[in-house]
Amino acid sequence: MAVRKRKIRRATLRGWWKPLPFLLLPFCTLFLFAALEGRRLQTEYDIIKLITQIRAINIDIAHLKDERRELNRIELMDEQAPSLDLIEPNPEQRKIISEAVVRKAMKIVESHTESAISAPAPQRTVLYDLTPMEERMVRAKDE
């Protein structure tokens, strides 16, 4: 009888590998798609990380370009200043604007803006090329 039980056990385990190809095929396809999806997500994550780095570097480059432009502009102005033959203006070209005129102009500005400037208005010197007729007209308007 003991021999018979062994045969029964052997008979139940016989052919256990035959359904494996049918079971492995769906699992392999699922694992393949999972691996491909994981690789795609990792690639997208890497691309996003690189794009953020590129944006940060572009911002830094833009700041450096602005600084270089500013320095070049100042250096060019320093280089060109002697060749421009700048001279002091004539006393006739200087016009002193009185405090009353400045206050009147500030009232106009205050009426057109929300925030008013509360600081006292000092006298200002402005350079103009005015004819005597224009000067008389300006003085008449100021009074």
Element (H, E) at 97: strand 94-97
Residues 11-69: tens digit of each pLDDT = 666 777 888 888 888 999 999 999 999 999 999 999 999 999 999 999 999 999 888 88
Q: Which two tokens stand for residue 131?
A: 């004819």
d(CA 38, CA 28): 15
Element (H, E) at 125: strand 124-127
d(CA 91, CA 127): 10
